[in-house]
Amino acid sequence: MDRRKFLKGAAIGAGATALAAPALAQGGKQLTIVSTWPRDFPGLGMSAQRLAARIAEIGDGAFNVEYFAAGERVGAFDAFDEVTSGNSQAYIGPDYYWTGKHPAFAYFTAVPFGMNVAERNAWIGFGGGQELWDEISGEFGLKAFQCGPTGTQAGGWFNKEMESPDDFKGLKMRIPGLGGQALSKMGASTVSLPGSQIYENLVSGAVDATEWVGPYNDYFMKFYEAAKYYYTGGMHEPSASIAFGMNKAWFDGLTDHEKLLIEVACAEEHAKAHQESIAKNGEYLAKLVNDHGVEVREFNEDIWDAFGDAAAEVFADTRAHSPLAAKIDDSFQAALRNYGTYLHNFDGTFVRQRDRVLGIS
Protein backbone atom coordinates (compact mmCIF):
# COMPACT_ATOMS: atom_id res chain seq x y z
CA MET A 1 0.00 0.00 0.00
CA ASP A 2 1.21 3.52 -0.82
CA ARG A 3 2.20 5.12 2.45
CA ARG A 4 0.85 8.60 1.72
CA LYS A 5 -2.54 7.23 0.69
CA PHE A 6 -2.57 5.08 3.80
CA LEU A 7 -1.98 8.01 6.13
CA LYS A 8 -4.57 10.19 4.45
CA GLY A 9 -7.12 7.41 4.82
CA ALA A 10 -8.08 4.76 2.33
CA ALA A 11 -11.75 5.54 2.86
CA ILE A 12 -11.59 9.32 2.56
CA GLY A 13 -14.72 9.34 0.46
CA ALA A 14 -16.68 7.18 2.88
CA GLY A 15 -18.02 10.20 4.73
CA ALA A 16 -21.18 9.49 6.66
CA THR A 17 -21.02 5.76 5.94
CA ALA A 18 -17.61 5.49 7.56
CA LEU A 19 -18.85 3.00 10.16
CA ALA A 20 -20.17 -0.24 8.78
CA ALA A 21 -23.46 -1.74 10.04
CA PRO A 22 -24.36 -2.47 12.78
CA ALA A 23 -22.08 0.24 14.16
CA LEU A 24 -23.93 2.96 12.26
CA ALA A 25 -27.10 3.35 14.31
CA GLN A 26 -30.15 5.02 12.79
CA GLY A 27 -32.86 7.06 14.43
CA GLY A 28 -31.12 8.01 17.65
CA LYS A 29 -29.55 11.28 18.76
CA GLN A 30 -26.98 12.54 16.32
CA LEU A 31 -23.37 11.87 17.36
CA THR A 32 -20.87 13.03 14.75
CA ILE A 33 -17.32 12.26 15.87
CA VAL A 34 -14.22 13.83 14.31
CA SER A 35 -10.78 12.40 14.98
CA THR A 36 -7.24 13.73 14.93
CA TRP A 37 -5.97 10.39 13.55
CA PRO A 38 -5.76 8.93 10.04
CA ARG A 39 -8.27 6.28 9.06
CA ASP A 40 -7.31 2.67 9.74
CA PHE A 41 -4.04 3.74 11.33
CA PRO A 42 -2.78 0.94 13.63
CA GLY A 43 -3.06 1.86 17.28
CA LEU A 44 -4.44 5.38 17.61
CA GLY A 45 -6.63 5.39 14.52
CA MET A 46 -8.08 1.93 15.09
CA SER A 47 -8.73 2.77 18.74
CA ALA A 48 -10.78 5.81 17.75
CA GLN A 49 -12.78 3.81 15.22
CA ARG A 50 -13.31 1.02 17.74
CA LEU A 51 -14.67 3.50 20.29
CA ALA A 52 -17.07 5.07 17.83
CA ALA A 53 -18.37 1.64 16.81
CA ARG A 54 -18.70 0.57 20.45
CA ILE A 55 -20.79 3.60 21.39
CA ALA A 56 -23.16 2.77 18.54
CA GLU A 57 -23.24 -0.88 19.54
CA ILE A 58 -23.96 -0.54 23.24
CA GLY A 59 -26.23 2.42 22.59
CA ASP A 60 -28.53 0.04 20.74
CA GLY A 61 -30.21 2.78 18.75
CA ALA A 62 -29.70 5.63 21.22
CA PHE A 63 -27.18 7.35 18.94
CA ASN A 64 -26.85 7.88 15.22
CA VAL A 65 -23.05 7.65 15.13
CA GLU A 66 -20.97 9.05 12.28
CA TYR A 67 -17.19 8.87 12.45
CA PHE A 68 -14.76 10.96 10.41
CA ALA A 69 -10.99 10.47 10.50
CA ALA A 70 -8.62 13.43 10.23
CA GLY A 71 -9.11 15.25 6.94
CA GLU A 72 -12.44 13.64 6.09
CA ARG A 73 -14.58 16.35 7.65
CA VAL A 74 -12.06 18.73 9.24
CA GLY A 75 -8.31 18.73 9.70
CA ALA A 76 -6.77 17.19 12.81
CA PHE A 77 -6.06 20.54 14.44
CA ASP A 78 -9.55 21.85 13.61
CA ALA A 79 -11.38 19.24 15.70
CA PHE A 80 -11.61 21.48 18.79
CA ASP A 81 -13.38 24.33 16.99
CA GLU A 82 -15.56 21.86 15.09
CA VAL A 83 -16.96 20.53 18.37
CA THR A 84 -17.14 23.76 20.37
CA SER A 85 -19.11 25.28 17.49
CA GLY A 86 -21.60 22.41 17.59
CA ASN A 87 -20.97 21.41 13.97
CA SER A 88 -19.94 17.99 15.33
CA GLN A 89 -20.75 16.56 18.72
CA ALA A 90 -17.41 14.99 19.73
CA TYR A 91 -13.72 14.67 18.92
CA ILE A 92 -11.19 11.96 19.70
CA GLY A 93 -7.68 13.31 20.14
CA PRO A 94 -5.07 14.55 22.63
CA ASP A 95 -6.06 17.66 24.54
CA TYR A 96 -2.49 19.00 24.47
CA TYR A 97 -3.21 19.92 20.86
CA TRP A 98 -5.30 22.76 22.33
CA THR A 99 -2.62 24.47 24.45
CA GLY A 100 -3.03 27.51 22.21
CA LYS A 101 -6.51 27.80 23.70
CA HIS A 102 -5.28 27.25 27.27
CA PRO A 103 -1.85 25.84 28.26
CA ALA A 104 -3.30 23.76 31.10
CA PHE A 105 -5.06 21.48 28.62
CA ALA A 106 -1.68 19.72 28.41
CA TYR A 107 -2.11 18.26 31.90
CA PHE A 108 -4.95 16.13 30.58
CA THR A 109 -2.78 14.50 27.93
CA ALA A 110 0.83 14.56 29.12
CA VAL A 111 3.40 16.93 30.58
CA PRO A 112 7.18 16.65 31.02
CA PHE A 113 8.19 14.39 33.92
CA GLY A 114 4.50 13.72 34.50
CA MET A 115 2.35 10.76 35.46
CA ASN A 116 2.40 7.29 33.99
CA VAL A 117 -0.88 5.60 33.06
CA ALA A 118 -1.58 4.19 36.54
CA GLU A 119 -0.86 7.51 38.23
CA ARG A 120 -2.97 9.48 35.75
CA ASN A 121 -5.90 7.08 36.17
CA ALA A 122 -5.68 7.57 39.93
CA TRP A 123 -5.59 11.36 39.60
CA ILE A 124 -8.47 11.53 37.14
CA GLY A 125 -10.62 9.02 39.03
CA PHE A 126 -9.83 9.70 42.67
CA GLY A 127 -7.54 12.73 42.93
CA GLY A 128 -9.75 15.52 41.62
CA GLY A 129 -8.39 15.41 38.07
CA GLN A 130 -11.74 14.85 36.36
CA GLU A 131 -13.27 17.77 38.23
CA LEU A 132 -10.44 20.06 37.13
CA TRP A 133 -10.75 18.74 33.57
CA ASP A 134 -14.46 19.55 33.69
CA GLU A 135 -13.62 23.06 34.88
CA ILE A 136 -11.16 23.90 32.11
CA SER A 137 -13.20 22.13 29.42
CA GLY A 138 -16.35 23.86 30.62
CA GLU A 139 -14.80 27.24 29.93
CA PHE A 140 -14.87 26.26 26.24
CA GLY A 141 -18.22 24.50 26.24
CA LEU A 142 -16.77 20.98 26.37
CA LYS A 143 -17.01 17.82 28.47
CA ALA A 144 -14.31 15.14 28.18
CA PHE A 145 -13.50 11.60 29.26
CA GLN A 146 -10.28 9.61 28.95
CA CYS A 147 -10.46 7.08 26.12
CA GLY A 148 -7.00 5.68 25.42
CA PRO A 149 -3.52 6.02 26.92
CA THR A 150 -0.46 5.14 24.89
CA GLY A 151 1.83 4.27 27.78
CA THR A 152 5.32 5.77 28.08
CA GLN A 153 6.25 7.21 24.71
CA ALA A 154 9.55 7.13 22.88
CA GLY A 155 11.97 10.03 23.19
CA GLY A 156 11.85 10.33 19.43
CA TRP A 157 13.56 9.78 16.09
CA PHE A 158 16.77 11.70 15.36
CA ASN A 159 19.08 11.86 12.37
CA LYS A 160 22.10 12.12 14.68
CA GLU A 161 23.08 10.83 18.10
CA MET A 162 22.11 13.16 20.92
CA GLU A 163 25.16 13.24 23.19
CA SER A 164 24.72 16.47 25.17
CA PRO A 165 22.14 19.19 25.85
CA ASP A 166 23.96 21.36 23.28
CA ASP A 167 22.85 18.95 20.53
CA PHE A 168 19.32 20.30 20.93
CA LYS A 169 20.36 23.85 20.05
CA GLY A 170 19.03 24.67 16.60
CA LEU A 171 17.41 21.23 16.25
CA LYS A 172 14.19 21.34 14.24
CA MET A 173 11.81 18.87 15.88
CA ARG A 174 8.15 17.98 15.68
CA ILE A 175 6.95 17.82 19.29
CA PRO A 176 3.73 19.39 20.64
CA GLY A 177 2.55 20.31 24.11
CA LEU A 178 4.60 21.38 27.11
CA GLY A 179 7.30 18.89 26.09
CA GLY A 180 7.83 20.94 22.95
CA GLN A 181 8.01 24.11 25.02
CA ALA A 182 10.68 22.50 27.21
CA LEU A 183 12.84 21.69 24.17
CA SER A 184 12.38 25.26 22.98
CA LYS A 185 13.89 26.38 26.28
CA MET A 186 16.91 24.24 25.37
CA GLY A 187 17.31 26.00 22.03
CA ALA A 188 15.38 23.65 19.76
CA SER A 189 13.01 24.92 17.08
CA THR A 190 9.81 22.97 17.63
CA VAL A 191 6.67 22.59 15.54
CA SER A 192 3.33 20.82 15.90
CA LEU A 193 2.35 18.73 12.90
CA PRO A 194 -0.55 16.30 12.53
CA GLY A 195 0.47 12.69 12.05
CA SER A 196 -0.20 12.68 8.31
CA GLN A 197 2.41 15.42 7.71
CA ILE A 198 5.31 14.18 9.83
CA TYR A 199 6.91 11.67 7.45
CA GLU A 200 7.17 14.03 4.49
CA ASN A 201 8.66 16.77 6.68
CA LEU A 202 11.22 14.35 8.14
CA VAL A 203 12.20 12.99 4.72
CA SER A 204 12.50 16.44 3.18
CA GLY A 205 14.64 17.75 6.05
CA ALA A 206 12.04 20.33 7.08
CA VAL A 207 12.46 18.78 10.53
CA ASP A 208 15.54 16.99 11.88
CA ALA A 209 13.70 14.89 14.43
CA THR A 210 10.25 13.87 15.56
CA GLU A 211 8.44 12.17 18.35
CA TRP A 212 5.23 10.27 17.73
CA VAL A 213 4.15 7.47 20.05
CA GLY A 214 6.05 4.21 20.48
CA PRO A 215 7.32 1.23 18.48
CA TYR A 216 3.91 -0.12 17.44
CA ASN A 217 2.54 3.15 16.08
CA ASP A 218 5.93 4.42 14.88
CA TYR A 219 6.65 1.31 12.83
CA PHE A 220 3.80 2.04 10.45
CA MET A 221 4.89 5.67 10.05
CA LYS A 222 8.18 4.40 8.54
CA PHE A 223 10.27 7.04 10.26
CA TYR A 224 13.18 4.60 10.08
CA GLU A 225 13.50 5.52 6.40
CA ALA A 226 14.58 9.04 7.37
CA ALA A 227 16.05 8.83 10.88
CA LYS A 228 18.44 6.20 12.19
CA TYR A 229 18.46 6.79 15.94
CA TYR A 230 15.47 5.89 18.11
CA TYR A 231 15.49 7.10 21.69
CA THR A 232 13.57 5.19 24.34
CA GLY A 233 11.43 6.64 27.13
CA GLY A 234 11.16 10.38 26.67
CA MET A 235 10.50 12.98 29.34
CA HIS A 236 7.62 14.55 27.46
CA GLU A 237 4.81 11.95 27.38
CA PRO A 238 4.88 9.28 30.07
CA SER A 239 1.20 8.43 29.58
CA ALA A 240 -0.38 10.54 26.79
CA SER A 241 -4.05 10.03 27.51
CA ILE A 242 -6.43 10.56 24.59
CA ALA A 243 -9.68 12.49 25.12
CA PHE A 244 -13.25 11.93 23.99
CA GLY A 245 -14.26 15.59 24.03
CA MET A 246 -17.93 16.43 23.60
CA ASN A 247 -19.93 19.59 23.06
CA LYS A 248 -21.16 20.21 26.59
CA ALA A 249 -24.57 21.52 25.60
CA TRP A 250 -25.11 18.33 23.59
CA PHE A 251 -23.87 16.13 26.45
CA ASP A 252 -26.01 17.95 29.02
CA GLY A 253 -29.06 17.26 26.85
CA LEU A 254 -28.60 13.49 27.13
CA THR A 255 -30.43 11.29 29.60
CA ASP A 256 -28.46 9.93 32.54
CA HIS A 257 -28.48 6.52 30.87
CA GLU A 258 -27.14 7.92 27.60
CA LYS A 259 -24.37 9.77 29.44
CA LEU A 260 -23.45 6.54 31.21
CA LEU A 261 -23.31 4.63 27.93
CA ILE A 262 -20.68 7.04 26.61
CA GLU A 263 -18.70 7.06 29.85
CA VAL A 264 -18.64 3.25 29.98
CA ALA A 265 -17.58 2.95 26.32
CA CYS A 266 -14.75 5.44 26.92
CA ALA A 267 -13.58 3.58 30.03
CA GLU A 268 -13.59 0.28 28.13
CA GLU A 269 -11.56 1.70 25.25
CA HIS A 270 -9.21 3.41 27.70
CA ALA A 271 -8.31 -0.02 29.06
CA LYS A 272 -8.17 -1.73 25.65
CA ALA A 273 -5.93 0.87 24.05
CA HIS A 274 -3.34 0.52 26.81
CA GLN A 275 -3.51 -3.26 26.67
CA GLU A 276 -2.91 -3.15 22.92
CA SER A 277 0.00 -0.75 23.31
CA ILE A 278 1.77 -2.95 25.87
CA ALA A 279 1.07 -6.10 23.85
CA LYS A 280 2.40 -4.68 20.58
CA ASN A 281 5.31 -2.40 21.49
CA GLY A 282 7.82 -5.13 22.29
CA GLU A 283 7.05 -6.98 19.08
CA TYR A 284 7.44 -3.90 16.90
CA LEU A 285 10.56 -2.65 18.66
CA ALA A 286 12.17 -5.95 17.64
CA LYS A 287 10.98 -5.44 14.05
CA LEU A 288 12.47 -1.94 13.93
CA VAL A 289 15.83 -3.22 15.14
CA ASN A 290 16.02 -6.55 13.34
CA ASP A 291 14.28 -5.73 10.06
CA HIS A 292 15.28 -2.10 9.56
CA GLY A 293 18.54 -1.63 11.43
CA VAL A 294 17.23 1.03 13.80
CA GLU A 295 19.74 1.95 16.51
CA VAL A 296 18.09 2.24 19.91
CA ARG A 297 19.53 4.79 22.31
CA GLU A 298 18.82 6.29 25.73
CA PHE A 299 19.34 9.92 26.68
CA ASN A 300 22.24 10.35 29.10
CA GLU A 301 21.88 11.94 32.52
CA ASP A 302 23.27 15.31 31.41
CA ILE A 303 20.44 15.53 28.89
CA TRP A 304 17.88 14.37 31.44
CA ASP A 305 19.07 17.05 33.86
CA ALA A 306 18.74 19.68 31.15
CA PHE A 307 15.24 18.39 30.40
CA GLY A 308 14.41 18.83 34.08
CA ASP A 309 15.64 22.43 34.21
CA ALA A 310 13.71 23.30 31.05
CA ALA A 311 10.55 21.61 32.31
CA ALA A 312 10.70 23.62 35.54
CA GLU A 313 10.72 26.83 33.49
CA VAL A 314 7.76 25.63 31.45
CA PHE A 315 5.73 24.81 34.55
CA ALA A 316 6.46 28.29 35.94
CA ASP A 317 5.32 29.86 32.67
CA THR A 318 2.17 27.75 32.63
CA ARG A 319 1.27 28.59 36.21
CA ALA A 320 1.63 32.28 35.43
CA HIS A 321 -1.01 32.04 32.71
CA SER A 322 -4.02 32.05 35.04
CA PRO A 323 -5.30 31.03 38.48
CA LEU A 324 -6.90 27.96 36.91
CA ALA A 325 -3.58 26.86 35.38
CA ALA A 326 -1.89 27.25 38.78
CA LYS A 327 -4.70 25.31 40.46
CA ILE A 328 -4.39 22.44 37.99
CA ASP A 329 -0.61 22.36 38.36
CA ASP A 330 -0.89 22.35 42.16
CA SER A 331 -3.20 19.35 42.07
CA PHE A 332 -1.18 17.50 39.45
CA GLN A 333 2.21 17.98 41.11
CA ALA A 334 0.94 17.04 44.59
CA ALA A 335 -0.74 13.89 43.27
CA LEU A 336 2.34 12.95 41.23
CA ARG A 337 4.58 13.06 44.29
CA ASN A 338 2.06 11.15 46.37
CA TYR A 339 1.51 8.37 43.85
CA GLY A 340 5.13 8.39 42.74
CA THR A 341 6.44 7.73 46.25
CA TYR A 342 4.28 4.64 46.53
CA LEU A 343 5.07 3.32 43.05
CA HIS A 344 8.81 3.96 43.43
CA ASN A 345 8.96 1.92 46.62
CA PHE A 346 6.64 -0.89 45.61
CA ASP A 347 6.29 -1.31 41.83
CA GLY A 348 9.74 0.18 41.27
CA THR A 349 11.42 -2.20 43.69
CA PHE A 350 9.64 -5.21 42.27
CA VAL A 351 10.33 -4.42 38.59
CA ARG A 352 13.98 -3.58 39.25
CA GLN A 353 14.58 -6.83 41.15
CA ARG A 354 12.45 -8.96 38.82
CA ASP A 355 14.40 -7.74 35.80
CA ARG A 356 17.70 -8.30 37.57
CA VAL A 357 16.83 -11.87 38.54
CA LEU A 358 15.34 -12.78 35.15
CA GLY A 359 17.94 -10.94 33.11
CA ILE A 360 15.46 -8.60 31.43
CA SER A 361 16.95 -5.46 29.94
Q: What is the mean pLDDT of residues 201-214?
A: 97
The pLDDT value recorded for residue 26 is: 57
Task: Please say if the pLDDT value at position 298 is more than 90.
Answer: yes
- Strands 90-93 and 63-68 turn out to be unpaired
Q: What is the mean pLDDT of residues 42-50?
A: 96
Q: What is the mean pLDDT of residues 156-179?
A: 97
Could you report the per-residue pLDDT of 20-37, keeping only the tens digit for each? 433 444 569 999 999 999
- Strands 172-174 and 229-231 turn out to be unpaired
Which residues, 6 or more positions from 4, have their beta carbon under 8 angstroms from its beta carbon?
A: 200
Q: How far is CA 313 from CA 116, 130, 207, in A?
A: 21, 26, 24
Helix (H) or strand (E) segment spanning residue 50: helix 44-59
Q: How far is CA 35 from CA 13, 124, 199, 301, in A?
A: 15, 22, 19, 37
318, 322, 325, 306: which is closest to 177 by C-alpha? 318
111, 235, 114: which is closest to 177 by C-alpha? 111
Beta strands in the chain (DSSP E): 29-35, 63-68, 90-93, 142-149, 156-158, 172-174, 189-191, 209-210, 229-231, 241-247, 295-297
* Percentage of the chain lying above the pLDDT 90 cut: 91
3-class secondary structure, 145: strand
CATH architecture for residues 3-149+239-280: 3-Layer(aba) Sandwich (3.40)
**Domain boundaries, given as residue ranges, for the chain:** 3-149+239-280
Could you report the per-residue pLDDT of 217-263, keeping only the tens digit for each? 999 999 999 999 999 999 999 989 999 999 999 999 999 999 999 99
Q: pLDDT grade, residue 99 (50/70/90)?
A: very high
